[in-house]
Amino acid sequence: MKSFTTQKMIEIMDLLKKELINLEVKSIIEFKVLNPDYCSSTYAGNRVYVNNQAFIYREYKAWLDLAHILNCRMLTPKSDSGSQVIIRYEKLNSDESFHKSEMDKEKKYGTESIFSQIYKNEEPSFIHYYLQALKNVNFNKRTRVLNLGVNSADEFVVIKEISQDFSTLELVGIDFCDSAIELARKKFINDKNITFYTHHINDLASLNLGEFDLIISIGTLQSSNLEFNKLFMSIVQNQLKRDGAMILGFPNCRWVDGEMVYGAKVKNYPFSEMGLLYKDVVFCKKYLQQKKFRVTVTGKDYIFLTASSIRK
């Protein structure tokens, strides 16, 4: 078993990449490093001494980040009799990802899909920033809420949990996936203030929904079958109240073999490339600012754009 003491991270990455390249998926590799608990409040890269042994210090987060960079899952470390711990990586199965699914849209995002096993509300890097976004738009002052690409309505579940008076809200959720909408209806079967539509958001006008105080869309508007800029401007002009607010979530992650892996990825790139993501975020920000909205951009694995009208 390899033991890393004073090797630089660039050396460690190179060695582990070479070891992983010929391994089957789900294979496990193990290596020893300094136990991070020995040196709290120390920054990565500092040389420390434990029992006269020199080490380069790194915290657990560094090893977790490295696992994802190497397309691995970090397993529970094992204790070592000395000052080290055994870090364990499991090689991910990159084919176990809904992103690579060749199914039609209904099956790809339906209740029998890999996507249906994803619960963003249990991921701290999603739920923290989503709650922050709701706070940023003064959520409890909003009464009519529209969710575009609602799927099985996880975002509405959060709203119900934190709302001061949920029964006074009017919520509308729209998605093209019929099985996901049916599941959403079951979640809120006793709530008469929520309406769900199986419908394409390219044709919102035909539903005659009126305007909303708050519009939410998480990971939907950038879909390949939508004309992003045109659709976004139409939503602002036709569905958003003059004094309304928006929360847009842009995925900056991939879901692979049970892991949420940081970094957006587009076709024809073997690595994470976030140019399209930031182009769309900047377009929305500039457009909303021109319309007299105060805009903030937050997040990590999901980039959240929140906008609140400042028009008088």
Residue 27 shares a structural domain with residue 155 = no
Domain boundary (91, 122, 142) is at: 91
| Per-residue confidence (pLDDT) for residue 229, from 0 to 100 | 95
Do 124 and 12 reside in the same domain of the chain?
no
Which DSSP state fits 203? Answer: G
Q: From the CB of residue 117, how many other CB atoms can be counted at a distance below 10 Å?
A: 10
Same domain (yes/no): 117, 57 = no
What is the mean predicted confidence (pLDDT) over 175-194?
A: 96
Based on the fold, state whether residues 281 and 210 are members of the same structural domain: yes
Convert 142-181 into a string of H (helix), E (strand) and C (coil). Answer: CCEEEEECCCCCHHHHHHHHHCCCHHHCEEEEEECCHHHH
Residues 37 and 172 in one domain: no
134 and 80 together in one domain: no
Burial category of 223 from C-beta neighbours within 10 Å (exposed 0-12, middle 13-18, buried 19 and up): middle
Residue 222 pLDDT > 80 = yes
Residues 59 and 129 in one domain: no
Q: Which two tokens stand for residue 138?
A: 């003064």
- Give pairs for 33-41: CB < 8 Å, separation 24+: 33/3, 33/4, 33/58, 33/63, 33/84, 33/85, 33/87, 34/5, 34/58, 34/83, 34/84, 34/85, 35/80, 35/83, 35/84, 35/85, 36/60, 36/85, 38/83
Choosing from 41, 67, 91, the residue where a domain stops is: 91
Number of domains in the chain: 2
- Structural domain harbouring 20: 2-91
Are residues 72 and 140 located together in one domain of the fold? no
Whether residue 123 sits in one domain with residue 45: no
pLDDT of amino acid 104? 60
DSSP string, 293-308: EEEEEEESSEEEEEEE
57: CATH:
3.40.50.150
Same domain for 38 and 150? no
One domain, residues 137 and 51: no
Q: Cβ–Cβ contacts within 10 Å for residue 217, how many?
A: 24
Q: Is 92 exposed, middle or buried (0-12, 13-18, 19+ CB in 10 A)?
A: buried
pLDDT tens digits, 263-306: 988 777 888 889 989 999 999 999 999 999 999 999 999 999 99
Are 173 and 291 in the same domain?
yes
Q: Which of 233, 252, 239 is nearest to 291 (CA)?
A: 233
- What's the rounded Cα separation, in Å, for the pair 115 and 138? 30
pLDDT in tens, 4-54: 999 999 999 999 999 999 999 999 999 999 999 988 789 999 999 998 999
Mean per-residue pLDDT, 180-208: 96
d(CA 245, CA 82): 56
Query: For 77-89, what is the mean pLDDT?
Result: 92
- Residue 76 to residue 269: CA distance in whole angstroms: 31
The answer to whether the beta carbons of residues 136 and 161 sit under 8 Å apart is no
- Cβ(175)–Cβ(221) under 8 Å? no
For the cut 80, the answer to whether the pLDDT of residue 101 exceeds it is: no
Torsion angle of C-alpha atoms 201, 204, 210, 212, degrees rounded to 10: 10
Confidence of residue 94 (pLDDT cuts 50, 70, 90): confident
Domain final residue, candidates 67, 91, 115: 91
